[in-house]
Amino acid sequence: MQLPDDLILREATGTILLVILDGLGGLPDPELGVTELESAHTPHLDALARRSSLGMLLPVAPGITPGSGPAHLALFGYDPKDYVVGRGALSALGVGFDLVMGDVAVRLNLATLDEAGLITDRRAGRPRDDEGSRIVNLLRSGISLGEEAEFFLIHEKEHRVVLVLRGEGLGADISDTDPQATRVPQLELRLLNSSSAKTARIMGQFLAQAHELIRDEDQISGLLARGFARYDGLPSLKDRFGLDALAVARYPMYRGVARLVGMEVAGVPSSDEEAVALMEDQFGKADFYFIHFKAPDARGEDGDFDAKVAAIEAVDAVIPRLVALSPDVLVITGDHSTPARMGGHSWHHVPLLLAAEETRPTGDSFSERECGSGDLGRLEAKYLMSLMLAHAGRLGKFGA
């Protein structure tokens, strides 16, 4: 299946609110026989389900477990197989760094090397943030790349650092130095395409100077580079779908991917409560709104079934406030499944609820089971956008 090459957009005022419960989908608990969502007491979601079209989203393809970046791109209507965004760029966007076209970003791990240069800890024991910041400052002031490129070094959290190189003619076809293993040396930088030769040379200088500066440190004595990515931007939601879009998300990653598709990011809420209040405050300014709730995924990653149930119930409690904003289309789904039983992302379908004027309700509650027999069927996540646009009155007729 594929969409027509050009969607026929209509002038319309219908608003869309996309509510993401990260990692929403689950698996049945072996004793209870029901999933996290099925077990949760969610009166507001259930009431909404009874007047919604239900379905199941396939994040990428059967059996494919997505990372958060590709999973969200799909929800925004960008096929993640066509729009590949490197880890470095997502991380930079995630911390709110203002990437410009042509920047090359790369994730750096603060790591521990032994005296022979072998990696003993790829995450340097997950250093405290003040220790990580100290090293980042040391590198920032000690490294000089001359005239060829500017660099920006951002301490994300713990061992995670983002390096952005800015200059003329940079490329990202360079292999990782992170071998993703310990007791081995770091990998050599390898040039994968001659168009990235300048960047490889600069990056070699950067790493050499960096290692000289930190070689005698106990905890953080190495840097591992992973996921070189050149930022060329993506066509925006405005360009592709005519949507002015606004995002509210507590975590940098999700603000980053929203910015990547041209959404305005409305502040940095420090709690889900603040996120909802911010959405209430901003509602009315845009056509498309995205609000992101992280807790179901985080508790699923913890492998804690009951905590994930509670996280879903906490979102249920704020649903009336989101419904009260009266978007023309209200969609509630996840980016992927994070079953507590698996303690991580999975490939399983994700429950989808679409509340709007023109729905075919089939279910009594919001659950994997009810969504599995819903009117929307099983749908690749990348097709959600055209469905939302249609329900918002924003799509014209295909053909005469």
Within residues 206-235, the interface with a copy of itself by CB under 8 A covers 227
Establish if 369 lies at the interface with a copy of itself (CB under 8 A): yes
Residue 388 touching a copy of itself (CB under 8 A): yes
Could you say which of 28, 167, 267, 303 contacts a copy of itself (CB under 8 A)? 28
Indicate whether 35 belongs to the interface with a copy of itself (CB under 8 A).
yes
| Rounded Cα distance, 335 and 45, in Å | 17
Q: Which residues contact 340 (CB under 8 A, 6 or more apart)?
A: 26, 27, 29, 36, 299, 300, 302, 303, 304, 305, 307, 308
68 contacts a copy of itself (rule: CB under 8 A) = yes
Told to check if 256 binds a copy of itself by CB under 8 A, we report no
60 counts as binding a copy of itself under rule CB under 8 A: yes
Ranges within 281-340 binding a copy of itself (CB under 8 A): 339
Rounded Cα distance between 25 and 185, Å, is 39
User: Out of 14, 23, 80, 351, which residue is the one contacting a copy of itself (CB under 8 A)?
Assistant: 80
Could you tell me which stretch among 109-117, 134-142, 196-204, 380-388 binds a copy of itself (CB under 8 A)? Answer: 380-388
In the complex, minimum distance from the CB of residue 300 to a copy of itself, in angstroms, rounded to a whole number: 13
| Site membership for a copy of itself, residue 2 (CB under 8 A) | yes
Under the binding rule (CB under 8 A), the answer on residue 397 touching a copy of itself is yes
- Please report how many Cα atoms fall inside a 13 Å half-sphere around the Cα of residue 310, on the Cβ side: 6
Q: Can you state the angle between helices 252-260 and 68-75, rounded to 10 degrees?
A: 50
195 token code pair = 């168009």
Contact (Cβ atoms closer than 8 angstroms) between residue 34 and residue 306: no
Residues 169, 195: Cα–Cα separation, whole Å: 8
The C-alpha atoms of residue 377 and residue 358 are separated, in whole angstroms, by 16
Tokens of 252: 């940098």
What would the two tokens of residue 243 be? 């949507």
Q: Under the criterion CB under 8 A, does residue 184 sit at the interface with a copy of itself?
A: no
Q: Which of 9, 12, 47, 67 binds a copy of itself (CB under 8 A)?
A: 67
The nearer residue to a copy of itself, 11 or 168, going by C-beta atoms, is: 11
Indicate the residue among 279 and 384 with the shorter CB distance to a copy of itself.
Answer: 384
